[in-house]
Amino acid sequence: METLLAVTDLHARYGDSHVLRGVTLRVSPGRSLGLLGRNGMGKTTLIRTALGYVTAAGGSVAWQGRAMTGAPPEKMARLGIGYVPEGRGIFPNLSVRENLVMTSRPGADGSRTWTLERVLATFPRLAERLGHGGQQLSGGEQQMLSIGRALLTNPRLLILDEATEGLAPLVVAEIWKTIAAIRETGIATLIVDRNARAVLAHTDDAVVLEKGVVVAAGASSALGADAVSLARYLGVS
């Protein structure tokens, strides 16, 4: 099976703190991978290192077999990776329309599967607020905007880091429904979320990190049935 993103024996440090300690994972076309672990175990650092925001201290990153270790974030984005960061990262002083159209471009293969019209059909609330500034949106609407903005890059892989954090239950359910719909379009996804059960229900495979080390990996259905590992590494009963 072709591999889109390959992370091999990846290490990362913040000063004297050795955060990632030899992490290996793969994301294949059309597949969804969950990245699980308690707070502070290295999940966001792994994403940021793979995307070039953090300098790798060892190991490698590859995209479709091409070495990309140390490539800048903008190059990774042009290759076909859409990123929805923790904290959303929208531009508060730009309107909803401006936030969206500024990222709109064909995919790496020239396709325009995701257009402004399709994003607005996926997120009707955004269609009603096109002229509103980013700072005028609710937390849930900001998250929809962040996801829509990433989709307008027409990615092959969409990375979502804590996409439901701090949102009301009804909005959380809507975000997961949208993630499921995105998966059905064939876009590969890498999902980080504190709700381990939800992640396992919306992914094909999963990796669990503890102190920067992979301590469990496999099919999401199998990990979901492994009550001992869920309790030990994630505190899930």
Residue 237 pLDDT > 70, yes or no?
no
- Give the pLDDT of residue 43: 96
Residue 207 pLDDT > 80, yes or no?
yes
Average pLDDT over residues 177-182: 94
Nearest Cα to Cα of residue 55 among 69, 36, 74, 41: 69
Average pLDDT over residues 136-162: 95
Residue 177 pLDDT > 70, yes or no?
yes
Average pLDDT over residues 57-62: 97
- Give the pLDDT of residue 89: 85
The answer to whether the beta carbons of residues 151 and 103 sit under 8 Å apart is no
- Give the pLDDT of residue 1: 66
Please report whether residue 180 resides in a domain: yes
Please report whether residue 12 resides in a domain: no
- Give the pLDDT of residue 235: 86
Which residues fall within 8 angstroms of residue 173, CB to CB, at 6 or more apart? Answer: none
* Residue 208 structural domain: 32-52+71-234
Please report whether residue 135 resides in a domain: yes
CATH code of the domain covering residue 145: 3.40.50.300
- Tell me the per-residue pLDDT of 101-123, one tens digit each, with 9 for 90 and over: 999 999 988 989 999 999 999 99
Average pLDDT over residues 208-236: 93
Average pLDDT over residues 202-230: 95
Residue 47 pLDDT > 70, yes or no?
yes
Please report whether residue 17 resides in a domain: no
Residue 26 pLDDT > 80, yes or no?
yes
Residue 179 pLDDT > 90, yes or no?
yes
Please report whether residue 15 resides in a domain: no
Based on the structure, what is the number of domains in the chain?
Answer: 1
Please report whether residue 66 resides in a domain: no
Please report whether residue 95 resides in a domain: yes
Please report whether residue 220 resides in a domain: yes
pTM of the model: 0.94
